């Protein structure tokens, strides 16, 4: 970024700007009406510095959102450089969850900003969708997820995130949900250890009735991942409904 004088913006000025955006994202997610003076104070800058970067509330709200979109989408390529494709995808999914929670918290502030500027609410959908496609393509090439999964499939699979209450323990809940989704994506991958192939077949666990109770027994079939065999439980055990 360049200053008004035309030269590179000083690193401390750039850090101030990024710090303002980080604090604004957090504070505006909590309250759309948070005073800008509060954001400046928590960012450790003067109000003059804030207004030099963002002349009004609407400019700050919109840039905080766009900054978060850029951070999210840029990180996809960065993660693929330093991690295996499936690990990069899983790490990026955590960042996507944080982005979704932030967008949910910013909803009121974004609506107010859009109303004040007379424009539509901003959307980073195309950029995020493109990042999902690049991550999935890298995994398909490496054979680290099941073949044929599309970005649309992925978004449907994680749709439960939008049902999580941002005011609760959303981090624990999203982590659990995304772990389940990632396990599903890895199932059926080419040559994966979880393919469970033994001598050209795969072993899975089936259930059969035995003396009035359900008993889990290994069954050899042509496809499907290996699943852990659990000890038999009494027929009245409610865990059978979810395990």
In a domain, 15, yes or no: no
Could you tell me if 81 and 181 lie in one domain?
yes
Tell me what pLDDT residue 89 has: 97
pLDDT at 119: 61
Structural domain that includes position 213:
196-242
173 located within any domain: yes
Same domain for 147 and 180, yes or no, is: yes
86 pLDDT tier (thresholds 50, 70, 90): very high
- pLDDT score for 110: 84
Residue 51 included in any domain:
no
Sheet holding 197-198, edge to edge: 197-198, 201-210, 213-221
pLDDT at residue 143 in the model: 95
Region 32-42: mean pLDDT is 93
- State the average pLDDT for the chain: 77
**CATH number reported for the structural domain that contains residue 133 in this entry:** 1.10.357.10
The answer to whether position 38 is within a domain reads no
pLDDT at 206: 39
Do 78 and 178 fall within a single domain? yes
38 vs 194 pLDDT, higher one:
38
- Distance from CA of residue 2 to its chain's centroid? 32
The answer to whether residues 73 and 182 belong to one domain is yes
pLDDT of residue 155: 94
**pLDDT reported for residue 105:** 80
Count how many Cα atoms sit within 13 Å of the Cα of residue 225 in the half-sphere of its side chain: 15
Q: Do the domain assignments include residue 11? A: no
């Amino acid at each position: 970024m360049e200053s008004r004088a035309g030269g590179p913006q000083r690193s401390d000025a750039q850090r101030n700007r990024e710090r303002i955006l980080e604090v604004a994202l957090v504070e505006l997610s909590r309250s759309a009406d948070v005073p800008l003076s509060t954001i400046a104070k928590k960012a450790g800058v003067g109000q003059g510095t804030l207004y030099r970067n963002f002349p009004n509330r609407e400019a700050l709200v919109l840039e905080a959102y766009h900054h978060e979109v850029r951070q999210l989408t840029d990180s996809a390529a960065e993660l693929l450089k330093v991690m295996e494709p499936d690990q990069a995808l899983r790490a990026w999914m955590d960042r996507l969850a944080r982005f979704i929670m932030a967008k949910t918290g910013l909803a009121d502030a974004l609506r107010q900003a859009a109303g004040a500027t007379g424009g539509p609410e901003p959307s980073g959908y195309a950029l995020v969708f493109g990042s999902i496609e690049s991550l999935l393509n890298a995994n398909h090439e490496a054979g680290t997820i099941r073949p044929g999964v599309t970005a649309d499939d992925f978004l449907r699979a994680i749709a439960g995130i939008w049902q999580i209450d941002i005011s609760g323990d959303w981090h624990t809940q999203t982590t659990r949900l995304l772990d389940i989704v990632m396990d599903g994506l890895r199932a059926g991958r080419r040559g994966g250890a979880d393919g469970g192939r033994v001598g050209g077949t795969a072993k899975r666990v089936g259930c059969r009735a035995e003396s009035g109770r359900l008993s889990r027994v290994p069954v050899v079939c042509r496809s499907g991942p290996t699943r852990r065999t659990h000890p038999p439980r009494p027929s009245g055990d409610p865990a059978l409904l979810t395990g």
